[in-house]
C-alpha cells in the first residue's frame, strides 16, 4: 500500500498539476492539506474518476484537509478530540479514517498550525493543538493496529532537516517547544518513516517561494509520516517527489510517499 501526503496550497488553483501527479503515481491512499475550500467546492468528482473514495474537512479560503483512498473509508473522523469540554476549534486541520483494505490501516491526515509569529496566540494555539494530537495518538496506539499519522506538521525536527538552521531560529517551526512536542509524539511509540527508510540529511519537503529557495535548495523537512509499530514493521521505502516543486505553478510543498507491504 502506497500512502501519500501533500500540502497542495489550494487544490482548485493547482488542480491540473495535482491530478496529473495522481494519474502518474496512483497512490492507494493520500492525504491533502491546505485545500483552501469548503467541502462542496472540493473537486470530488475529478478524484472519483481516478478511482478514489473521498472524505473532506474543508474551510473557506484557509486550511482544509482531505483523505482519498482506492479502498472504502470507514470510521471517518473530522477534527481532533478536545481535552476539555469547553474547548472549540474553528480551523479544519485533521481528518481520519480506517482504510478498509485486505489489511485495514487507520490513516490520520493533519495540517498542524504554523504558529507564527512567536509571542502571539498563534504559537500558543500550535502547542495546544500538538497536545491534543499527542492525547489522541496515544489513544489510537492503544488499539494496536496499523496506524499512519501523516501530513504537514510545520515542525523542523533536527538541524539536519533545514538547509540554513540559523535562518529559522526565530521561526515557530524550529522552536525548542515545537521540536520537543514532536519528539514527545514519537516517543509514544511512533516511527518517523523517512528516518527509518533513509534518514539522509537534505530530505526536504518544502521550499519557500521567496529568495530563490528552490533553485538554491534552501529547503526544510516539515511533511512527516509517523507509523505505529504495526505499520513500521512493514515499511518498504519513502520517496520524496522533489520534481513536483519544479513544475509549472507548483505548491511550495512536494508529495511524500511511504510504501507499506501489508
pLDDT digits (tens, 9 = 90+) for 98-117: 999 999 999 999 999 999 99
**For the segment 174-229, what is each residue's pLDDT rounded down to a tens digit?**
999 999 999 999 999 999 999 999 999 999 999 999 989 999 999 999 999 999 99
**For the segment 37-89, what is each residue's pLDDT rounded down to a tens digit?**
999 999 999 999 999 999 999 999 999 999 999 999 999 999 999 998 888 99
Q: What is the Cα Rg of the chain in Å? A: 17
- Among the options 28, 94, 152, 161, which is catalytic? 152
Task: Count the alpha carbons within 13 Å of 216 in the hemisphere toward its beta carbon.
Answer: 10
Per-residue CA distances from 70 to 26, 29, 82 (Å):
9, 6, 30
Residue 85 has a pLDDT of 83
Domain 2-260: CATH architecture, name and number where available = 4-Layer Sandwich (3.60)
Give binding residues as ranges. Answer: 7, 34, 152, 154, 252-253
192 part of the active site = no
Pairing of strands 2-7, 29-33: parallel
How much is the pTM?
A: 0.98
Residue spans of the domains in the chain: they are: 2-260
C-alpha triplet 158, 133, 239: angle, nearest 5°: 50
The separation between CA 143 and the C-alpha centre of its own chain, rounded to angstroms, equals 22
224 part of the active site = no
Q: Quick one: the chain helix, strand, coil %, rounded to 5?
A: 30, 25, 45
Is pLDDT of 237 > 90? yes
253 part of the active site = yes
Residue 86 has a pLDDT of 82
**For the segment 133-181, what is each residue's pLDDT rounded down to a tens digit?**
999 999 999 999 999 999 999 999 999 999 999 999 999 999 999 999 9
- Among the options 111, 153, 194, 204, which is catalytic? 111
Give binding residues for Mg(2+) as ranges. Answer: 7, 34, 152, 154, 252-253
CB 158 within 8 A of CB 176: no
Task: Count the alpha carbons within 13 Å of 144 in the hemisphere toward its beta carbon.
Answer: 0
Instruction: Report residue 8 as a C-alpha cell.
Output: 497542495
* Least confident residue range of 66-70, 125-129, 207-211, 232-236: 207-211
Amino acid at each position: 500500500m502506497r500512502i501519500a501526503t501533500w500540502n497542495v496550497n489550494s487544490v482548485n488553483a493547482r488542480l491540473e498539476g495535482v491530478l496529473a501527479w495522481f494519474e502518474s503515481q496512483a497512490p492507494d491512499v493520500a492525504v491533502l492539506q491546505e485545500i483552501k475550500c469548503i467541502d462542496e467546492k472540493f473537486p470530488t468528482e475529478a478524484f472519483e474518476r481516478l478511482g478514489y473514495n473521498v472524505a473532506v474537512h474543508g474551510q473557506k479560503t484557509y486550511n482544509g484537509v482531505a483523505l482519498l483512498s482506492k479502498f472504502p473509508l470507514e470510521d471517518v473522523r473530522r477534527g481532533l478530540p478536545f481535552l476539555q469540554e469547553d474547548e472549540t476549534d474553528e480551523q479544519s486541520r485533521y481528518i481520519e479514517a480506517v482504510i478498509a483494505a485486505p489489511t485495514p490501516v487507520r490513516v490520520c491526515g493533519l495540517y498542524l498550525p504554523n504558529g507564527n509569529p512567536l509571542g502571539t496566540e498563534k504559537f500558543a494555539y500550535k502547542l495546544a493543538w500538538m497536545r491534543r494530537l499527542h492525547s489522541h495518538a496515544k489513544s489510537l496506539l492503544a488499539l494496536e493496529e496499523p496506524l499512519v499519522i501523516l501530513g504537514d506538521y510545520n515542525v523542523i525536527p533536527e538541524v539536519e532537516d533545514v538547509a540554513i538552521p540559523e535562518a529559522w531560529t526565530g521561526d515557530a517551526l524550529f522552536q525548542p517547544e515545537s521540536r520537543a512536542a514532536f519528539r514527545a509524539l514519537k516517543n509514544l511509540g511512533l516511527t518517523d518513516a523517512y528516518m527509518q527508510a533513509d534518514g539522509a540529511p537534505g530530505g526536504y519537503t518544502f521550499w519557500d517561494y521567496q529568495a530563490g529557495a528552490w533553485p538554491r535548495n534552501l529547503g526544510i523537512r516539515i511533511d512527516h509520516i509517523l507509523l505505529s509499530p504495526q505499520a513500521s514493521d512493514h515499511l518498504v521505502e519513502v520517496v520524496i517527489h522533489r520534481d513536483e516543486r519544479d513544475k509549472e505553478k507548483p505548491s511550495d510543498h512536494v508529495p511524500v510517499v511511504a510504501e507499506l507491504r501489508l
